[in-house]
Structure formats: structure tokens, C-alpha cells
Amino acid sequence: MLQPMEILVATYNRHKIEELEPMFPSHRLLAPSDVGLGALDIEETGVDYFDNAMIKAKALYQRSGLPTLADDSGLSVAALGGAPGIHSARYGALDGSAKLSSPERNALLLEAMKGIEDRRCAFYCCLVFLYGEDRFLSVQETCPGLLALSPSGAGGFGYDPIVYLPEFGRTVAELSPDEKNRVSHRGKASQLMNAMLRAAGNPASRA
């Protein structure tokens, strides 16, 4: 039987929380600020999405004691050997320079792909639900597409305006919220995670 939970989301990105909320309608998702946690400097030193999601989940769980949902996501471009990948949020700033804005990162990536015919790419999302010491659920999903030649659309955030989905004939930023939740990497991962939570009831309540 499903038991509603208060779940701390290990992100300071309100856009991510807003995207996750419809996927977990039976639970209350909390931002770190909702439980009195200010900004934390969490060093993401993992080698893949799972590692970084777990690092974030543990950092927030250890400070709050609450079941914690952490997400690590990024965009992988085939012609760039999978870059920017786990460095997507810091793309263009790995040498210690100031973090770029989303439009600046998008412009930099499109410039790097200028003249390249192979536009295959995919969004990745790994979710980790940490509910005890070394007790967790995890799922990873993808959203494959093609890198557009220029940005299009005002919805979404991050790389959404430059990822074109052939099945829709639109970029991710041009999808409605319902469409995006259905096919996006985060949407698919969230649906699977919610299904696991429904099957488990409230795992955080069990010793």
C-alpha cells in the first residue's frame, strides 16, 4: 500500500523540482531551503551519472535525515565522444572559469558541432532515492534525439532548445509539459522510480 512521504530533492534547481512534482503526485517534494538547508558546495567527483547522483543524495541525506531523491543528468553527443555528458552543467567552464549560462553553453556546443553531419545525441537521467544508510533505489533513462542547427522553443531549460525529437518534429523546448514528462529522460526515470515506490510502499518506514 502506498504511503505518502516527504521527500527531499537534492537540487537547488527549481526547474528540476517543478518537473519532478507531477511524477510523484502522492508525495510532497521538498527543496533544501524548505528544511533550512542553505546552498551546499557539493563536489561531483563521480565517473558517471549514478556516482554523482549518489554523492548528492548522501550529502543531503546526511544533513537532513530525510528520504532524499537525487538526480544527475546531462546531454551526450555521439560525434563528441559522449561529451559534454556528466559535465553538461559545467560545459565550457571546466578550466575554472565562470559557469556559463544555458544560452552560452548551447551556443558553445552548436559551434563545436558546426559542419558535423552526425547530429545524434541523447539526454541521460539517473535518479537515486536514498532512504537509509546504504539503502537506495536507482534508475537511469535516456531521451535520444538530434542536435538542432539552432535553438528553438521557449519551454524547458538547459539544452532543451537545441535537442530535436524527430518523432515530434520539434525540439524538447517546444513540447508541452505533458509531452515532455512522457518522453523526456527525467520523465521516464521518474515514472519508473514512482512505480518502484508504489511497489515498495514506504521503504523509509521499515528498519
pLDDT tens per residue across span 85-117: 999 999 998 776 788 999 999 999 999 999 999
pLDDT over 90 percentage in the chain = 71
Q: Is residue 1 a part of any domain in this protein?
A: no
pLDDT given at position 207: 47
Cα–Cα distance measured from residue 60 to residue 85, given in angstroms and rounded to the nearest whole number: 23
The predicted model gives 119-134 an average pLDDT of 96
pLDDT given at position 206: 60
Please list, residue by residue across 107-129, b when 16 or more beta carbons sit within 10 angstroms of its beta carbon and e when fewer do: bebeebbeeeeebebbbbbbbbb
Least confident of 4-8, 31-35, 38-42: 38-42
Q: Which residues are catalytic?
A: 72
110: which 3 cell numbers?
Answer: 552548436
Q: Is 115 helix (H, G, I), strand (E, B) or coil?
A: coil
The predicted model gives 130-148 an average pLDDT of 96
Q: Is residue 131 a part of any domain in this protein?
A: yes
Amino acid occupying residue 65: G
Amino acid occupying residue 93: A
Q: Is residue 197 a part of any domain in this protein?
A: yes
Q: Which helix (H) or strand (E) holds 124?
A: strand 120-132
Q: Is residue 121 a part of any domain in this protein?
A: yes
Cα–Cα distance measured from residue 181 to residue 19, given in angstroms and rounded to the nearest whole number: 7
Cβ-based neighbours of 93, under 8 Å, separated by 6 or more: 99, 100
The pLDDT tens digits of the residues spanning 150-207 come to 999 998 889 999 999 999 999 999 999 899 989 999 999 999 999 999 887 767 666 4
pLDDT of residue 8 exceeding 70: yes
pLDDT given at position 10: 93
Cα–Cα distance measured from residue 118 to residue 95, given in angstroms and rounded to the nearest whole number: 27
The predicted model gives 54-60 an average pLDDT of 95
Domain that holds residue 113: 6-205
Q: Is residue 100 a part of any domain in this protein?
A: yes
Cα–Cα distance measured from residue 123 to residue 161, given in angstroms and rounded to the nearest whole number: 13
Number of folded domains that form the chain: 1
The CATH number for 184's domain is 3.90.950.10
Cα–Cα distance measured from residue 42 to residue 57, given in angstroms and rounded to the nearest whole number: 10
